[in-house]
Amino acid sequence: MHERTRRAVARLMFVLCCAMPTFLTVAVVLVTLTPWFADYRRTCLERELSQRIGLRVEIAKCEFPAPATVRLSGVKLSEPETGTKVATIHVVTWVNTDEKVAVRLSQPELQSAMLPFAWRVIHDRFLCQPELTTVPIRLAADDLTIHSSSGAVTMRDVDTWLRPVDDGIEAMIQCVPAERTDAAAVHVSVVRSRKGVLPATDWTLSTGDIQLHCSGLADYLPALRQLGPEATFLGTMKWRIEGQQWSLDLGSSQFSDVDLAELTRGTAHRLTGDATIRLERCQVEPGRELDVSGTMNAGSGFVSRSLLASLAKELRFEINPEIDASARDLAYETMAVRFDFFGSGMTLEGICGKQRGLERLPHGIVLVGQGRGMLASGQKTQSWVGLARSLWPQRTELLAVSPQTTWLFGVLPAPPSSDMDTESDDTKPPRITSADRLQNTPTIVQP
């Protein structure tokens, strides 16, 4: 080959094998450093995540500091139709390898009212899709805050382990309330089982000795809002979801600092004070099973005369005739009652006589004021309809349907039709004779 030809071939090979690849490499590097390419990659990632989790995802900045590592800054999750903010996360660091997935969230903030959408992401879009949980997952969060109209709850050192098992998936979550300085943690376990005809999810929450504030979930569960902004939960909660059915077990748990004014808001009566509700048994399966028993104790407060009269009328409670009949609100010092709900049956029994310093009181006292019994419980077993009518007396012959009573029809088993359709012919409490006081109805006397 001629010398000139060899030089031409060498130059061509240099251009094709060295100069051109180098030029292309430099061009690619320069393109990836441009703002428009960063926006394009961020937009693609936003679109992919939005399709996967079902929420609108907005990312302020997207970085790739190492292979298989993604760092997202200024992440915002919104409801796709209305644009309502669901959550914000300061920084998300995602490491995805063939053996495991590790995610770290920095300062995530959730809106309590929008927790149904967060639940949809966690449960429906994640736990219920086996292809997304084929490898173990570790998730950690710093300073998780849940905001609601009645207050905010912050949890630090949130740690989650998730691993696939035969016919299902298991997850363990632990976190520490921000106000705690010790190492005590709240534990949550989640088991998604796919063995049966219908997949089932079992949640178990155990607080240990931590009083967990209820205000963070108040906008998500309106029943918690009615407990008041300072209410706390202590104990174990078991929640099972199977198809469209769910069941709840709150046995051996306790609600403290319950604001009775908030609990009775929307009723026709006034009741104030801070109460503690202890649940010995609490198994609820909406519309099918109800087995709840426990006690409620409250310190000093006020009770309206109308509530006493309504309880006497509907539940055959006995009012002390010596209390001031002209007073609209009456001060009480102690309230203690034991409650049992089983099916449509209900039993309310005053237990003030079992409180320290009140042992001289007769059996069945519900309220104590000025050192004497004010109200005593009536007959043993009744229907929960009587209690509902005591709290919401505005009705015709049927039990009133209102925002305050709607939940009763969804949770409590249906009572006998006679209790729902008509009232008793005797609308006044029976006159109590001396013999009746000794045998049937507790006597209200001054100790």
**What pLDDT does residue 77 have?**
93
**φ/ψ bin of 246: left (φ > 0), alpha (ψ from -120 to 50), beta (otherwise):** beta
The ranges of the chain with pLDDT < 50 are: 396-405, 420-447
Alpha carbons 292 and 342: distance in angstroms, whole number: 6
Q: Quote the Cα angle for 150-151-156, to 5°.
A: 150
> What's the confidence (pLDDT) of residue 59?
94
Q: What are phi and psi of 141, to 5 degrees?
A: -135, 140
Cβ-Cβ contacts under 8 Å for 129 (sequence gap 6 or more): none
124 neighbors 241 (Cβ within 8 angstroms): no
Provide the 8-state DSSP code for 364. B
20-32 and 35-53 helices, crossing angle to 10°:
60
For residue 77 the two structure tokens come to 């999750």
Output the pLDDT for position 120.
79
Q: Quick check: 219 and 225 in contact, CB under 8 A?
A: yes
Residue type at position 148: S
- Which pLDDT score is estimated for 109? 93
Q: Of 398, 149, 413, 394, give the one whose Cα is nearest residue 266.
A: 394
In this predicted structure, what is the pLDDT of residue 396? 40
* Report field, pTM of the whole predicted structure over 0.85: no
* Per-residue exposure over 356-394, b if at least 16 CB sit within 10 Å of its own CB, e if not: eebeebbebbbbbbeebbbbbbbeeebbbbbbbbbbbbe
- What pLDDT shows up at residue 439? 35
CA 92 to chain CA mean position, Å: 26
